[in-house]
Amino acid sequence: MNLQGKKVTLHDMSLRDGMHAKRHQISLEEMVNIATGLDQAGMPMIEVTHGDGLGGASVNYGFPAHSDEAYLKAVVPKMKQAKISALLLPGIGTVDHLNMAKDCGVTSIRVATHCTEADVSQQHITQAAKMGMDTVGFLMMAHMVSPEKILEQAKLMVSYGANCIYATDSAGYMLPDDVTARIGLLRKELPKNIEIGFHGHHNLGMGIANSLAAIEAGASRIDGSVAGLGAGAGNTPLEVFCAVLDRMGVTTGVDLFKIMDVAEDLVVPMMDHPVRVDRNALTLGYAGVYSSFLLFAKRAEEKYGISARDLLVELGRRGTVGGQEDMIEDLALTMAKNK
């Protein structure tokens, strides 16, 4: 693979996707320290939000240690060069949350829908674009449908005003060829001024390989997280990815040793559990299940005595999508009744 001379924009997820792995309990101090470390390392974009996006604070997804507003107000003013983004899932967050994030100094908004439901993002994308924000359409669970369907949905988001489209491997299910097919078609068919991005999960250990495939197929933005802190087996570990890209001659603008230090000195010590491909995270990737279901399934296992792996396999079989965390306890109750 020859990526020599290419440029990519890296986007850190440790303070948003990483919130899943921390049960949304990252402290303001940790959030500021990590963001500051990343900023100094030259990370161009950092996402700061509840794991399930703006307005995600809930019984269903978990109440965070602090509100989105408190996190954003703590982090944004400390940034020297990094842009802070926020995630928004229509159906959970609203335009009111979007406006709040803008007021806190968020300059990039990522509006996420299931990969077949892009038309619920119209009011949020339109509003973000109208306010002059970097507006990203984020198609989740992109492994579940064909590249052609992803393109159709991406075009809707572009028509609402998105300037960048992501194919998102929320389940960490994709193999490099799956990534190439989706990113390649988006790059070929969408206008040149629309950027393409890829967001991976490491559940099958494919975070780095898939992200490289994405760059080769035309993606110019890649999500990952420092030390891999994210849902499931985490996101593409950015310090590793930076080293690989450096070896391959791809420009990222990120200082490798500095980001290594952020991973080792700040993020790893903060982890509640090692973020790795354990059997349950592997099951997510193997069965194609939304990565943030991991800890919910483990808790249901503890409470109801049903194996997390069995729960995840069944949720995959049922075609469960992002946001259906409530179905985990429900399924565990049903399986416990039938035992």
Nearest residue (CB) to other proteins, 96 versus 103? 96
For residue 80, the minimal CB distance to other proteins (Å) is: 35
Q: Which residues bind other proteins (CB under 8 A)?
A: 58-60, 90-92, 94-96, 114, 116-117, 119-120, 122-124, 318-324, 326-327, 329-330, 333-334, 337
Residue 316 amino acid letter: G
* CB 320, min distance to other proteins, A: 7
Query: Residues near 29 by Cβ (< 8 Å), separated by ≥ 6?
Result: none
Judged by CB, which is closer to other proteins: 63, or 257? 63
Question: What is the C-alpha to C-alpha distance for residues 227 and 271, in angstroms, rounded to an integer?
Answer: 10
171 — phi, psi (to 5°)? Answer: -95, -5
Q: Which is nearer to other proteins, 12 or 52 (CB)?
A: 52
All residues at 6 or more sequence positions from 302 whose CB lies less than 8 Å from its CB, including other chains: none
Q: Shortest distance, CB of residue 103 to other proteins, whole angstroms?
A: 17
Is residue 227 within 8 A of residue 263, CB to CB? The reply is yes
CA distance 54 to 128: 14
Q: Which is nearer to other proteins, 249 or 319 (CB)?
A: 319
Determine contact, residues 92/53, Cβ cutoff 8 Å: yes
Pick from 101, 76, 73: nearest CA to 88 = 101
Least separation in angstroms between residue 258's CB and other proteins is 39
Judged by CB, which is closer to other proteins: 41, or 284? Answer: 284
- Which tokens sit at 171? 């389940």
- Of the candidates 20, 24, 199, 201, the residue annotated as catalytic is 20
Residue 61: closest CA among 221, 231, 219: 231
Nearer to other proteins, 246 or 326 (CB): 326
The CA R_g of the chain, rounded to the nearest whole Å, is 18
Burial (CB count within 10 angstroms: exposed 0-12, middle 13-18, buried 19+), residue 328: buried
Taking residue 317's Cβ as centre, other Cβ atoms within 10 Å add up to 11
Contacting residues for 261 by C-beta, under 8 A, at least 6 apart: 37
Amino acid 206 reads M
Q: Is 20 a catalytic residue?
A: yes
User: What is the set of active-site residues?
Assistant: 20
